[in-house]
Amino acid sequence: MARHDFRYTLLAPQHTLTECRPLKPGQYQVTGNGGNIQPGDTLIVSLKGSRDLSMELQVRSVRHLINPPGQWTASASGPAFKELEIHTWQVQCDGCNSLLQLEFAVDAAHGENARLPAAEARLQELGWISRHGRHLCRQCQHEEA
């Protein structure tokens, strides 16, 4: 089971995605070039509309195309978004006042109440913590410890 990274930041013409579209929540059709994709592999793909968010898809089946050479179409499973929204919030460290442009994804179908938990989860992924209403970057966490 291999991991294939198809994020925008790694643009390489011999190893790219042509299309990644949802068929229904949690199921995707992915078309790309290169990488020798096999069932059971993991694809890391950028989220549309995001600068640096990505998601992982598990390949269920793949069909390698004869023409053009190296192209393939796969069905994959992954996060079940009904309506994906990308938000950008600014978070300021309460220790050193450094500013973070926080980008996070949320399922709009869950309403505005889902935004804060999604933002907090993304903040933790980036190594920041929220304690008693205060946000601390990695450096300030170590200074308080």
Rounded Cα gap, residues 114 and 126, in angstroms: 19
pLDDT at position 78 is: 95
pLDDT of residue 11: 62
Q: Which of 144, 135, 138 is nearest to 92 (CA)?
A: 135
Best CA proximity match to 4, nearest among 39, 53, 47? 39
The whole-number pLDDT of residue 62 equals 96
pLDDT at 48: 86
The pLDDT of residue 138: 87
Cα(2)–Cα(71) distance, integer angstroms: 17
User: Quick one: pLDDT at residue 111?
Assistant: 86
Low-confidence ranges of the chain (pLDDT < 50): none
